[in-house]
Amino acid sequence: MTTYDFIVRNWPELMSLAWQHTVFVSIALAIAIATGVPLGVYLTFNRRLADTVLYLAGIMMTVPSVALFGLMIPVLSVFGHGIGTVPAVIALVLYSQLPILRSTYAAIRSVDPAIIEAGLGIGMTRAQVLFKVQIPMSLGVIFSGVRVAVVMSIGIGAIAAYIGAGGLGQYIFNGITQTYDAMINAGAVAVSAMAILADFMFGRLERTLVSKGLRRD
Amino acid sequence: MIELNHVTKTYPGASQPAVDSVSLTIPEGEICVFIGPSGCGKTTLMRLTNRLIPITSGSISVDGKDIMGLDPIELRRHIGYAIQQVGLFPHMTVRDNIATVPKLLGWARTKIDARVDELLTLVNLEPGTFRDRYPRQLSGGQAQRVGVARAMAADPPIMLMDEPFGAIDPINREVLQDEFLRIQDKLKKTIIFVTHDINEAIKMGQRIALLKEGRLIQTGLPDELLNRPADEFVKSFVGADRVLKRLNLLKVRDAMMTNPVHCRSEDSSEKVLEQMVKNDLAFLIVTDRDQRLLGYVNQYDLRGHKGHAGDVARKLTLTVSPERNLKEALSQMLSYDLGILVVVGEDGRIQGVLNSTTLCSLVGSTYDEHGGHWGRITAAGRIL
């Protein structure tokens, strides 16, 4: 059976796995963005902490994903969530932190000091400069970090099937154990397609959210 | 009015104060230029005024109120601020950039829109064309204009300008300076203007404060700095060509010899010639009854002529207005090899003459405020 046939015959199942995949990746990204962006902004006010945090986030990226998922099991077993969606989400949040943190930190820091001075000089409070000037100016770069995190999370999310979180990784792992090529391919193609689609959507979102004044053309 | 009273700023960890006990009063409606070599504390002094940096000792008061007793944010919203790097917000349109302070002050939308258009017109940008542009779609000069418009948005009585035209090519800088002076003429803001360019200082400043290593070295009118530099430092800072720079400041009116020697067109040629020989004049201005310039006569043309001086008068096309500055007048004299330039008012009447002797004595070291000597020419008024 070809990959195409497999996909056609197992369409409903594929869709439900894709949905599972989407759910835990989305939850993880929502948490990662909700924590990573504010933390990245905060770090620009605390340079010493910034170095440490970015270093730790960098180390986190070097831990092989299978190992990270495995490490979650004993830790989270204590709370009764050793396997399934919870450890998968936590691992993805940790992975997504670095690109989001680093891009946010770098973007906010790269705002021309003259512009910040102009903002303060005409009577903006520090918070107004941050929210009305620095963050809107940084959105483009922050978005690029988020898009990296999105694509990466969808890919790494496939490994979450290994600890029982389901998702499209299930086809890949099952396919490997059954030496069923069409199944492996179907899972892989679906993961790629999802990543491309998500990246495209975030690209569109970026275009609407980031000011036209910052576009280079 | 801005009053600085023994203002001192020492940055943490610095051994020398960046600003050292500066006292200065800037009267209402005047442009005061802070100038000095880099690191002299001019920008620091300016930033102390709107509390962008805290003062170490001394006091600054704005319109009689000590700035330390005011809320810094409120204070800054009522002091316009323009900087060299322009500092326009790239993610905002021209309109939103200019509207920043009015929005912070909670103005109504219609009032803001009207104000934005008014300001754009004031700085010579067509509102319909520029209102919705982003800063990246502006040239350097246009961006600076928007920067100045933004600083004036809430109509602050006081403005701080840190080399606002510094990043612009010389030609456009001149244009912007002229435009700004024209605006200032109408609005009469109290302005602190920081620059390191002595020519700009002389042009823009009604008062100049020269700083060096945090200390105020000399303060005064531009002409005083050029003409009576307090010490060698001031002398070298204003430049070896300070005398020439004064030409920019002085108007033809200041240097011309009034009531110049002349004759009328109906005067008899013979008599005019006689007087010219007697007074050793090579040529003479000819006017009509109303002192309107008709031309000039020379001894050669008059010799043997029977009739009126007006009949042999030659046309004089190169004249100068009393409102031009001396630099332009001198340049005209040099390029056309003229020893004398007739000053003619808008009504065509002669107001005086400018010659190299009066020019030199005016700007040179022998100049004294009461007018100096007028050179060898002793004849004046109608010659007959």
pLDDT tens track for B151-169: 999 999 999 999 888 878 8
The pLDDT of B208-227, averaged and rounded, is 89
Contacts of A114 in chain B (CB under 8 A): 83-87
Whole-number pLDDT of residue A104? 95
* Chain position carrying tokens 């005067």: B267
Tell whether B52 is covered by a domain: yes
Whole-number pLDDT of residue B58? 92
Tell whether B373 is covered by a domain: no
Q: Which of B127-141, B142-156, B236-250 is least confident?
A: B236-250
Min distance A104 CA to chain B CA atoms (Å): 17
Q: Does one domain contain both B261 and B237?
A: no
Q: Which of B253, B282, B267, B280 is nearest to B343 (CA)?
A: B253
Whole-number pLDDT of residue B383? 64
Q: Does one domain contain both B257 and B228?
A: no
Residue B300 has pLDDT above 50, yes or no: yes
Q: Does one domain contain both B168 and B186?
A: yes
Exposure of B208 in the CB half-sphere (CA atoms within 13 A):
28
Min distance B221 CA to chain A CA atoms (Å): 28
Confidence of residue B379 (pLDDT cuts 50, 70, 90): low
Whole-number pLDDT of residue A33? 95
Strand pairing category for B57-62 and B2-9 = antiparallel
Tell whether B225 is covered by a domain: yes
Q: Does one domain contain both B66 and B206?
A: yes
Q: Does one domain contain both B62 and B125?
A: yes
The pLDDT of A49-76, averaged and rounded, is 85
**pLDDT tens digits, A94-134:** 888 889 999 999 999 999 998 999 999 999 999 999 999 99
The pLDDT of A50-72, averaged and rounded, is 85
Residue B372 has pLDDT above 70, yes or no: no
Tell whether B380 is covered by a domain: no
The pLDDT of B184-204, averaged and rounded, is 91
Listed by start position, the domains of chain A span: 3-214
Q: Does one domain contain both B208 and B346?
A: no
**pLDDT tens digits, B57-99:** 999 999 889 999 999 999 999 999 998 777 899 999 999 999 9
CA dihedral of A197, A198, A199, A200, whole degrees rounded to 10:
50
Whole-number pLDDT of residue B364? 60
ipTM of the shown complex: 0.81
Whole-number pLDDT of residue B367? 42
Residue B266 has pLDDT above 50, yes or no: yes
Confidence of residue B368 (pLDDT cuts 50, 70, 90): very low
Residue A48 has pLDDT above 80, yes or no: yes
Whole-number pLDDT of residue B378? 54
Q: Which of A29, A52, A6 is nearest to A149 (CA)?
A: A29
The pLDDT of A80-93, averaged and rounded, is 83
Percent of chain B with pLDDT over 90: 40
Tell whether B194 is covered by a domain: yes
Confidence of residue B241 (pLDDT cuts 50, 70, 90): confident
Q: Does one domain contain both B33 and B103?
A: yes
Whole-number pLDDT of residue B366? 41
- With CB atoms and an 8 Å threshold, state whether B91 touches A136: yes
Tell whether B159 is covered by a domain: yes
- With CB atoms and an 8 Å threshold, state whether B134 touches A128: no
Q: Which domain holds residue B341?
A: 252-363
Decide: A178 and A189 in contact? Cβ < 8 Å: no
Give exposure, A90-109, as e/b (b: 16+ Cβ within 10 Å).
bbbbbbbbbbbbbbbbbbbe
State whether residue B81 sits within 8 Å of chain A by CB.
yes
d(CA B262, CA B375): 17
How many domains, chain B? Answer: 2
Taking all residues of chain B, what is their mean pLDDT, rounded to a whole number?
A: 86
Tell whether B377 is covered by a domain: no
**pLDDT tens digits, A131-183:** 999 999 999 999 999 999 999 999 999 988 888 788 888 899 999 999 888 99
- With CB atoms and an 8 Å threshold, state whether B90 touches A115: yes
Contacts of B48 in chain A (CB under 8 A): none
Strand order through the sheet with B207-212: B79-83, B158-162, B190-195, B31-35, B207-212, B215-220
| pLDDT: which is higher, B208 or B318 | B208
Contacts of B160 in chain A (CB under 8 A): 121
Q: Does one domain contain both B266 and B204?
A: no
Residue B244 has pLDDT above 90, yes or no: no
Of B85, B134, B160, the CB nearest to A213: B134
Q: Which element (helix H / strand E) includes B24? A: strand B19-26
Q: Does one domain contain both B144 and B180?
A: yes
- With CB atoms and an 8 Å threshold, state whether B90 touches A211: yes
Whole-number pLDDT of residue B121? 92
Tell me, what CATH number does B333's domain have? Answer: 3.10.580.10
Q: Which of A217, A209, A163, A161 is nearest to A187 (CA)?
A: A161
Q: Does one domain contain both B355 and B291?
A: yes
Min distance B74 CA to chain A CA atoms (Å): 7
Tell whether B259 is covered by a domain: yes
The pLDDT of B96-105, averaged and rounded, is 94
Tokens of A99: 């690109």
Residue B185 has pLDDT above 80, yes or no: yes
Whole-number pLDDT of residue A124? 93
Q: Does one domain contain both B199 and B123?
A: yes
Min distance A114 CA to chain B CA atoms (Å): 6
The pLDDT of A194-200, averaged and rounded, is 95
Residue B374 has pLDDT above 50, yes or no: no
Whole-number pLDDT of residue B55? 92
CATH number of A3-214: 1.10.3720.10
Q: Does one domain contain both B177 and B316?
A: no
